[in-house]
């Protein structure tokens, strides 16, 4: 840096006090623009990061807003920054130095980008709106200024970015996707299955589907689901009250709807748990996770005798044209052959991990770690099965048991000792995740679990009813069930239960209840993809 550049910003004590800057150098312009961006709301980068991750904890409580703690500080900040901004911008119009003009233009671009971010600050908008709603104006000019602030925020999209109106619109649109087409398909499937069951001597398809299962009759299934639902009522009510309180603090007295579940569950979890799933990913390099899974399975099931038990192959990474879900495919069962020898079982584990294009080991999201444990449970089940007949070998014939080994292995994703075994910071794998984070992950597993299970029960009952009775109006059934199971929350108008084609369409028709432990588990509701967590 030249001497002239080093002395580019010349500011006397008196001028600093009045917010006036004499700018003569390109480097100084950019330095000032960056500084203004950092200090615009008087927060350091660390404080800004903390504020984002903590759900805007620094916001003023909505019932404590006043002119002096909301409007006056904003007005003062705006007044202080205006001459500073302008001193960065005007050189591009008058300077005789090309470098200074270019730097001024770049400074303006950076300042504009920062101002745009500030203009979408939801926490600031909420407190301004709360003050405006109270209508305690100091004078007419202050009222006009407050309304201008509101207008600027709303014209930049803050009002609808996460407001209750927008959440509802998104939830309805998501909940009716392909609904009309799928509804007719689902209705046809149900009727054809009823017809098929009657041909075999059953009164309806549910009788046929449940006959081979432990429940034996649909009546037992209904009793099972009702018992679970009733036992969860008190816990789910407490959880829902927490979410309603959060909404009231943030949005006022707007009614709470099912469209709010996703947003406020995430909000509550951000406040309760001291970790970020994006940061957590850095501790799960795929090779380290795999070696940990193998070690845990080996010790848990005693797979260290040296005897060849079977083969499994891993197809871990996504590619064009590949099957899009995570699963285990049995290639050969371990049943006895005609000469009395046992076949070597072979399994293929398919997953959809994303490769790291930088050449570093792929990092797994926590939900992918849980999925890997779950599916490897199926691999162990397939290889260790010692049934004599092929029909009972491999992944098993009993439909009520097939998911149990996989679910059991999932539990090890939430224990501190196993989390430390499978984790290590990607830049130094000798540093596993910390004890406090392990505890938070285990507590997070059960957060709002009663409400989540309630919603699964809703779909299980829906599934059982449509296969237990003829000519059911699917839409009316869903509207009737929703408030009864979901603590009075009505289904959204326009949402179609056939839009998501649950297991009742293909795979677990009339027996979704048997997967309730799987469906309500965290592997189906990854935190970093909350859309999958609440089925709106």
- Residue 425 structure tokens: 């910071």
Cβ–Cβ < 8 Å for 152, 119: yes
The sign one gets for the Cα dihedral 224, 226, 230, 233 is: positive
CA 499-505-508 angle, to 5 degrees, is 130
Closest CA relative to residue 433, chosen from 224, 442, 361: 442
Task: Compute the distance between CA of residue 108 and CA of residue 85 in angstroms, rounded to an integer.
Answer: 8
Helix, coil or strand: residue 179: helix
Closest CA relative to residue 375, chosen from 364, 389, 387, 360: 364
Residues whose CB falls within 8 Å of the CB of residue 433, separated by 6 or more in sequence, listed in order: 280, 283, 419, 420, 423
Closest CA relative to residue 526, chosen from 318, 347, 365, 322: 365
Q: Which residue has the tokens 């006036």?
A: 20
Q: Which residue has the tokens 């951000």?
A: 270
Q: List the end-to-end C-alpha distance of the chain, in Å, as a whole number.
A: 58
The sign one gets for the Cα dihedral 400, 401, 405, 408 is: positive
- Residue 431 structure tokens: 């540093």
Three-state SS across 466-480?
HCCCCCCCHHHHHHH
- How would you list the strands of the sheet with 327-332, edge to edge? 311-317, 346-353, 327-332
Cβ–Cβ < 8 Å for 395, 328: yes
Catalogue the active-site residues. 375
Cβ–Cβ < 8 Å for 233, 453: no
Residues whose CB falls within 8 Å of the CB of residue 6, separated by 6 or more in sequence, listed in order: none
Task: Compute the distance between CA of residue 502 and CA of residue 351 in angstroms, rounded to an integer.
Answer: 21
- Residue 183 structure tokens: 């509804």
DSSP 480-493: HHHHHHTTTPPPPT
Burial 396-412 (b: 16+ CB within 10 A, else e): beeeeebbebbbebbeb
């Amino acid at each position: 840096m030249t001497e002239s550049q080093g002395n580019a910003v010349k500011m006397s004590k008196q001028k600093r006090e009045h917010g006036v800057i004499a700018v003569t150098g390109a480097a100084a312009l950019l330095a000032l623009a960056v500084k203004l961006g950092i200090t615009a709301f008087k927060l350091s980068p660390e404080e800004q990061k903390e504020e984002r991750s903590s759900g805007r904890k620094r916001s003023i409580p909505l019932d404590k807003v006043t002119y002096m703690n909301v409007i006056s500080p904003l007005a003062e900040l705006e007044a202080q920054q205006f001459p500073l901004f302008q001193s960065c911008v005007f050189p591009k119009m008058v300077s005789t130095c090309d470098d200074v003009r270019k730097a001024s233009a770049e400074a303006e671009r950076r300042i504009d980008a920062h101002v745009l971010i500030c203009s979408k600050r939801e926490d600031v908008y909420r407190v301004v709106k709360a003050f405006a709603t109270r209508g305690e104006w100091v004078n007419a000019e202050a009222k006009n200024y407050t309304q201008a602030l509101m207008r600027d925020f709303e014209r930049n999209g803050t009002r609808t970015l996460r407001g209750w109106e927008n959440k509802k619109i998104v939830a309805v649109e998501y909940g009716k996707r392909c609904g009309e087409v799928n509804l007719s398909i689902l209705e046809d499937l149900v009727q054809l299955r009823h017809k098929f069951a009657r041909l075999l001597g059953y009164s309806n398809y549910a009788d046929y589907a449940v006959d081979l299962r432990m429940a034996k009759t649909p009546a037992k299934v209904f009793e099972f689901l009702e018992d679970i639902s009733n036992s969860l009522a008190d816990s789910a009510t407490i959880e829902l009250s927490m979410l309603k309180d959060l909404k009231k603090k943030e949005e006022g007295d707007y009614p709470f709807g099912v469209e709010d579940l996703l947003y406020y569950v995430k909000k509550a979890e951000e406040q309760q748990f001291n970790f970020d799933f994006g940061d957590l990913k850095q501790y799960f390099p795929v090779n380290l996770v795999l070696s940990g899974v193998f070690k845990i399975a080996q010790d848990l099931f005693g797979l260290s005798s040296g005897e060849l038990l079977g083969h499994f192959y891993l197809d871990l990474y996504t590619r064009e044209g590949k099957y899009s879900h995570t699963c285990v495919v049995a290639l050969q069962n371990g049943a006895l052959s005609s000469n009395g020898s046992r076949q070597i079982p072979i399994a293929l584990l398919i997953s959809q991990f994303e490769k790291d294009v930088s050449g570093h080991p792929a990092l797994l999201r926590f939900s992918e770690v849980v999925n890997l444990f779950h599916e490897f449970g199926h691999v162990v089940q397939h290889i260790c099965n010692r049934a004599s007949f092929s029909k009972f070998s491999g992944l098993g014939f009993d439909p009520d048991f097939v998911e149990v080994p996989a679910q059991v292995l999932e539990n090890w994703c939430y224990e501190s000792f196993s989390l430390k075994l499978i984790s290590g910071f990607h830049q130094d794998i000798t540093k596993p995740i910390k004890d406090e984070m392990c505890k938070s992950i285990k507590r997070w597993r059960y957060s709002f679990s009663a409400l989540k299970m309630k919603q699964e029960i809703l779909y299980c009952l829906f599934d059982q009813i449509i296969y237990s009775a003829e000519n059911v109006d699917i839409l009316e059934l869903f509207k009737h069930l929703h408030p009864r199971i979901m603590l009075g929350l009505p289904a959204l108008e326009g949402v179609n239960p056939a839009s998501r084609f649950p297991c009742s369409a293909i795979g677990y028709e009339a027996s979704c209840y048997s997967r309730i432990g799987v469906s309500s588990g965290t592997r189906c509701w990854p935190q970093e993809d909350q859309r999958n967590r609440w089925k709106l």
